[in-house]
Structure 1
Amino acid sequence: MIAKAPRKRSVPAAAPGVRYTVAVSSAHAHLFAVTLQIQQPAKNQRLSLPVWIPGSYLVREFSQNLQALSAWQNGEPVAVKQLDKHRWQAQAEAGEPLELRYEVYAFDASVRTAFLDAERGFFNATSLCLQVLGQEDQPHALEIAASDATQGWEVATGLTPSDADAKGFGHYLAQNYDELADSPVEMGRFWSARFTAGGVEHRFVVAGAGAWMDGERLIEDTRRICETQIAFWHGRDAPPFSRYVFMLYASADGYGGLEHRNSTALICQRADLPRPAAPGEKPAPLKATDGYTTLLGLISHEYFHTWNVKRLRPAEFARYDYNEENYTELLWFFEGFTSYYDDLMLRRAGLIDDATYLKLVAKTINQVQQTPGRLVQTVAQASFDAWVKYYRMNENTPNATVSYYTKGSLVALCLDLTLRTEGHSSLDAVMRELWQRTEGGPMREADLLRALKRLGQRSYEGEIAAWVHSTDELPLSSVLQGQGAKFSHDKAPLAQQLGLRVSEASGALVLKAVLRGGAAEAAGLAAGDEWLGVEFAPVKRGGAVEAWRIHKLDELPGLRARRAELTAVVSRDKRLLRLPLKWPTESHAVMLAVNDAARLATWLGDARHA
């Protein structure tokens, strides 16, 4: 059952020296109004707005949306000088309270920035709240102001309330700027429920959902995920947070999440929300292809980050620098290992069965195997290059890079199954060892190697060198079969056989990427081409050329009729090109199934098995 919301408890009011008030300036113009009060400013106080948000490794230039900045001291205007793209200096005197006012344009519905319209508001402090340089470690206060524009709205956030009303409007506290930056705020008319997991109250709010959403199922499934993960990390001990908030925005077409220390912001397609079963029927078992399975995997992923990256994190992230890129080679561990555990936790929570989980693993294997860039870039390099490659994808991305999410998850799988096969330990035990030895704090690759050596009773430097710091293939077949999975192959999708990634929207067959070494590249096809049709040479001398219009790749096999060569007719820059194409030899995709259920159970079952 869904628990009723308890009365909001207030904590004793404090008087932080840095105080922000966020209000709706104009919902239709998508403008937030921000007031910043500094009780003890420095002389010529400097301020800055972050250029990125932790967890999303791209310089996003949030300052582009800040406007109409002004400053006041003792009732008199103070000149504000812009120093660079995201820093300013108020020509103020020291010691006297300083007030700054400005607006922020907010019309990005992602989890990374800020959004505002007449139906909903959302923001991360990194998009709205200027840093007071020199006072980042001081307590900060945030007021979320109610107004006519917010009638009927509620507020959800992981921040600690100090004087908030029943709807959540009012005052909140943060220990420092980092905590403020790590606490997104959701505002609007949303569905809301609470549940308890591991002795901790969790709140789940959903904006944009239809009335048909099965909230009971969403809450129960999420509770099982949370209970499973808390038990994984702590057994029966309490987790390192006293409350947690899920903020989900359901849109027509969206997906993503961003982790925080005691909350997460999520986006899913509205169609992926659970629907109630027909009267008298039980919900159908989840399939690997179900949108709701994808949503639960996202929930599991972001919740696992509560430990793995928000607390246990790269040494380079011990103190965030919001002014520039923060580099690390360890995203394969923090994002990749989290990606390994997200679906595994669904299995251990009993939300999916063995066969479904193995299909999800096979999907990841095929994603990596179908990426030529895995032979070009190591997963450690991919981590370091996230700022300029992963978050700046183009048509050559699959040929030049590998995802630290997908390959990182397969590195975790190989380590886990190798440890289990050798009979000494498991990756579960390694993760808990790292948590305890680092006290849930910064870590380096050397810490992982030490934990592997102690628990695995031998050095794993060779595996890390081969799987992380080289482009060698991973021993997926052997480790999976050794753990009770059946490893086989099926015919690969036609796009993969040809070496293509395509879009077939609105009846137009457009090439999104041409993969290195494939038949399409050999024929001279290029990203951006619209594939209009195919031609076949006459069967008999003197016969007519056979020509066909196509709209989808799946039309090709029937037209080809086993002919080894064809001519692709494409449109490029409004020119029509005829490109001879040799039909590729058949390629294969990985399939996984249950072979030894008892053996699989030692891996997929109890999260505290080893």
Structure 2
Amino acid sequence: MTPTRPRRHRAAAAAAVHYRVQAPRPQNHLFTVRLSVAAPARRQRLSLPVWIPGSYLVREFSQHLQHLRATQAGMPAPLKQVDKHSWVVEADPGQPLELDYEIYALDASVRTAWLDSQRGFFNGTSLCLRVVGQEDQPHALTLDAGDLPASWQVATGLTPQDVDDRGWGRYAAAHYDELVDAPVEMGPFWSGEFTAGGVPHRFVVSGAPASFDGQRLLQDTRRICEEQIRFWHGEQRPPFERYVFMLHATADGYGGLEHRNSTALICQRSDLPRATPKGSKQTPLKATDGYTTLLGLISHEYFHTWNVKRLRPAEFARYDYDRENYTELLWFFEGFTSYYDDLFLRRAGLIDTGTYLQLVGRTANQVLQTPGRQVQSVAQASFDAWVKYYRVGENTPNATVSYYTKGSLVALCLDLTLRLEGDGSLDEVMRELWRRSNGGPIREKDMAIAMRRVGGRSFENELTQWVHGTDDLPVGSLLAAFGAKVDEEQAPLAQQLGLRTTDSGGSIQIKTVLRGGAAEAAGLAAGDEWIGVELTPARRGQTAQAWRLSKLDELNSLIGQASRFVALVARDRRLLRCTVERTAGVTALKLGITDAARLRHWLGD
């Protein structure tokens, strides 16, 4: 735990728009908001965003708004709803306008809002009505502790104006975009601090168990931050005055959302670092460790501080909160960030080369095991994020490809190509883009120009084939040229069969049947319950054997080396027999080390 934060008390600057947020009864999951508009328009329009930047799905936050009332000088003002998320107030421009409303908050994700007796969290896009026409005016947010327990604190990236030692009080924002780009965490959380690049960083964790090793989390996160700041700015200070990590640990959760000087994160409690017994050494991190995954998430969201919150698609020069904001560049902003997140774990010395290559191999296999990679390019996947990436269904792997995973492989291939052909690297391309745009909006042509300047030739062919095409990327050959051992091994059982399943309560549910696989040829379908298997007699006169199947992992022990069996499934309460021919030669990529020195040249040792 860090010492008590000193009380900050500054003269409160005038704000054209002011929000007062309270949680009078956390158990009812309702935030109360009073919005004050100093100088309203005669027909003042108010609107709640339909999406939050960084998560490309229309989420209709207005569904949680209730009891909206408008008053002037203590008297009701005419208020009318004009669409699903907007209202108009007939106001007297010469008097302040006040609006009171409630927001229901019981979504534990990083994208919306949560409130119960243990914790509060919200993004401004979920709570703060936009005063249309005054978005560029100064905004203020007052967080009122009310009767909340004395153990509750506040953490946010907003600029404090008049707050107490627990963080309650008034915060300032230059405009609406800044206000809603700073989530708020409240509750009895753990808090720690460190300095990186000359800038104070705060890390708060809610829901942590007693075994949580906060000091290790701070030390490891600091190493990631210092590496990334040096990557972008050398020995200069980063473009923010403070940074806040807000992590909520749950029984089963994962995710993160980036902001200009903060990030909201979710992880499983089991992924947190645990204190080691006195005198014992920490074991090296493995690719399969939950803590490795958590550090990768931290690295990913922190890299977004530059790559998407400052460097950003030209289409996002100004957010439109009323509708989808389309771009074909998520393969760059999410994919390249996904390439660098684990790479910075290696550069910071948190994982070794072998572990890093395992992480790369896992990403490559995820792409190779997605038939949709041959249907949709990563540029198309970026544009379609609003209707495909966040709307996962049984056919998603067959129809689309992840701009995260394939985008990270595009970055890998470009980086290794630059390094193999000369002294250039993707690192230099990223910094060239930063200089070229002054840390602002970019288009794909800017990427092409930066690649030419760093690589000394045009990379239009690579961008056309790898970004706008659907052919497989030369991952294996490029890694082999850089000292990696590239082998193939037998794919996991589910991949051999061409399906994805879940096991629960002794039942196997088929979630996805992959295009072109054995399961599809056999007639299995998403939604089937796989009950058992039946083996055809090896010789005439023998009796067929049928077995109950409760976990997919039991299949090999039941059928042995048989290449053909009958799957007994239930569909719409009908029992079906589907003959499965196991596909031979379904393999997965396995990476190792052949030339450690060559790999070190790439990985930055």
The interval holding the TM-score normalised by the smaller chain is over 0.9
2:255 match = 256
- Which amino acid in structure 2 is aligned with residue 347 of structure 1? R
The residue number in structure 2 matching 1:286 is: 285
- Quote the residue 2:569 is aligned against: 570
Distance in 2 separating the partners of 1:467 and 1:179 = 35
1:300-334 Cα offsets, whole Å, 9 max, x none, are: 00000000000000000000000000000000000
Residue aligned with 1:509, SS:
strand
> 2:535 & 2:488 partners in 1: Cα distance?
31
Which residue number corresponds to residue 72 of structure 2?
73
1:103 aligns with 2:121: no
1:564, CA displacement in angstroms? 2.5
Deviates more, 1:285-294 or 1:571-580: 571-580
- Cα offset, 1:584, TM superposition: 1.6
**Offset of residue 372 of structure 1:** 0.2
Question: Where does residue 147 of structure 2 map in the other structure?
Answer: 148
Cross-structure match for 1:545: 544
Q: How does 1:378-393 map to 2 (within 5 A)?
A: 378-393=377-392
**Deviation at residue 5 of structure 1 after TM alignment:** 5.1
Residues in 2 aligned to 1:473 and 1:508: alpha-carbon distance in whole angstroms: 36
Shift of 1:586: 3.0
Contact 1:32-1:105 at 8 Å conserved across structures: yes
- 1:589 positional shift: 0.6
Question: Unpaired segments of 5 or more residues in structure 1?
Answer: none
Shift of 1:542: 3.1
* One-letter amino acid matched to 1:77: P
Question: Does the 8 Å CA contact 2:2/2:191 hold for their aligned counterparts?
Answer: no
- CA distance in 2 between partners of 1:231 and 1:9 (Å): 31
Distance in 2 separating the partners of 1:557 and 1:274: 36
CA distance in 1, matches of 2:562, 2:451: 54
Kept in 2, the 8 Å contact 1:18–1:138? The answer is: yes
- Equivalent residue, structure 2, for 1:205: 204
Q: Distance in 1 between matches of 2:413 and 2:436?
A: 23
CA offset digits 1:231-285 (Å, max 9, x no partner): 0000000100000000000000000000000000000000000001222111100
Deviations 1:48-96 (A, max 9, x none): 0000000000000000000000000011111210000000011212121
With 549-558 and 6-15 compared, the bigger mean Cα shift is at 6-15
Over residues 405-464 of structure 1, what are the superposed CA-to-partner deviations in whole Å (9 max), with x where a residue is unaligned? 000000000000000000130000000010011000000000000000011000000000
Determine the structure 2 residue equivalent to 1:554: 553
* TM-score, scaled to structure 1: 0.98
Q: Does structure 2 conserve the Cα–Cα contact (< 8 Å) formed by 1:70 and 1:79?
A: no
Name the amino acid aligned to 1:201. Answer: P
Aligned partners of 2:560, 2:380: CA distance in 1, in Å?
44
- 8 Å contact from structure 2 (residues 379, 468) kept in 1: yes
Q: Which amino acid in the other structure matches residue 567 of structure 1?
A: V
Matched, 1:243 2:274: no
- Aligned equivalent of 1:503: 502
Aligned residue identity for 1:432: R
User: What is the identity, as a one-letter code, of the residue corresponding to 1:160?
Assistant: T
Q: 1:11 to 1:415 in 2, by over 3 A?
A: farther
Distance 2:431 2:191 in 1: 33
Pairing of 1:321-340 with structure 2 (within 5 A)? 321-340=320-339
Asked whether the 8 Å contact 1:5–1:193 carries over to 2, the reply is no
Check 1:584–1:590 CA distance in 2 against 1; reply closer, same or farther (3 A cut).
same
> Is 1:41 matched with 2:43?
no
Query: What are the Cα deviations for residues 322-373 of structure 1, in whole angstroms up to 9, with x where unaligned?
Result: 0000000000000000000000000000000000000000000000000000
Task: State the Cα deviation string for residues 474-514 of structure 1 (Å, max 9, x = none).
Answer: 01111101111111111100100000111012221111100
Q: Once the 2 structures are TM-superposed, how far is the Cα of residue 150 of structure 1 from its aligned partner? A: 4.1
Are residues 1:192 and 2:195 paired? no
What amino acid is aligned across from residue 586 of structure 1 in structure 2? G
Large movers: runs of 4+ above 4 Å? none
**SS of equivalent to 2:43:** coil
2:337 partner SS: helix
> Given the two structures, how large is their TM-score scaled by the length of structure 2?
0.99
Instruction: Please give the secondary structure, in 2, of the residue aligned with 1:341.
Output: helix
CA distance in 2, matches of 1:586, 1:558: 20
The residue identity in structure 2 corresponding to 1:280 is: G
CA distance in 2, matches of 1:598, 1:544: 60
1:273 is matched with 272
Residue number in structure 1 paired with 2:414: 415
Match of 1:360 in 2: 359
Distance 2:525 2:431 in 1: 48
Aligned to 1:449: 448
> What is the deviation of 1:32?
0.3
Identical amino acids, percent of aligned pairs: 67
Q: How far is the alpha carbon of 1:376 from its aligned partner?
A: 0.2
- Matched AA of 1:103: E
What letter is aligned with 2:548?
R
Task: Name the CA distance, whole Å, in 1 between partners of 2:241 and 2:172.
Answer: 15
Query: Partner amino acid for 1:357?
Result: Y
1:581/1:28 CA distance change after superposition, 3 Å: same
Kindly state the Cα deviation for residue 293 of structure 1 after the two structures are TM-superposed.
Answer: 0.2
2:529 corresponds to = 530
AA partner of residue 329 (structure 1): E
Q: What is aligned with 2:300?
A: 301
Q: Distance in 1 between matches of 2:381 and 2:126?
A: 27
RMSD of aligned Cα (Å): 1.0
Tell me the amino acid that sits aligned with residue 334 of structure 2: E
Q: CA deviation at 1:12?
A: 3.3
Alpha-carbon distance in 1 for matches of 2:305, 2:338: 13
How many Å apart are 1:560 and its aligned residue?
1.6
Unpaired runs of at least 5, structure 2: none
Per-residue CA deviations over 1:94-140 (Å, capped at 9, x if unaligned) read 12100000000000010000000011000001000000000000000
Q: CA deviation at 1:223?
A: 0.4
Q: How far does the alpha carbon of each residue in 1:150-202 deviate from its partner, in whole angstroms, 9 at most, with x for none?
A: 43200000000000000000000000000001000000000001100000000
- 358-367 or 596-605, larger mean C-alpha shift: 596-605
Q: Which residue of 2 aligns with 1:28?
A: 27
Partner SS, residue 45 of structure 1 = strand
Change in Cα spacing, 1:22 to 1:6, as seen in structure 2 (3 Å) is closer
Using the alignment, how far apart are the partners of 1:246 and 1:290 within structure 2? 21
Of the structure 1 ranges 451-460 and 503-512, higher mean CA displacement relative to structure 2 is found in 503-512
Aligned residues: 605
Is 1:349 matched with 2:356?
no
Partner of 1:601: 600
Cα deviation for residue 8 of structure 1 reads 4.1
Q: Which moved more, 1:556-565 or 1:19-28?
A: 556-565
Contact kept, 8 Å, 1:42 with 1:95, in 2: the verdict is no
* Partner in structure 2 of residue 231 of structure 1: 230
Task: Indicate the residue corresponding to 1:17 in structure 2.
Answer: 16
- Partner AA of 1:241 in structure 2: F
User: Deviation string for 1:522-543 (max 9, x for gaps)?
Assistant: 0000011111001112233233
Distance in 1, matches of 2:564 and 2:491, equals: 20
Cα distance in 2, alignment partners of residues 444 and 25 from structure 1:
47
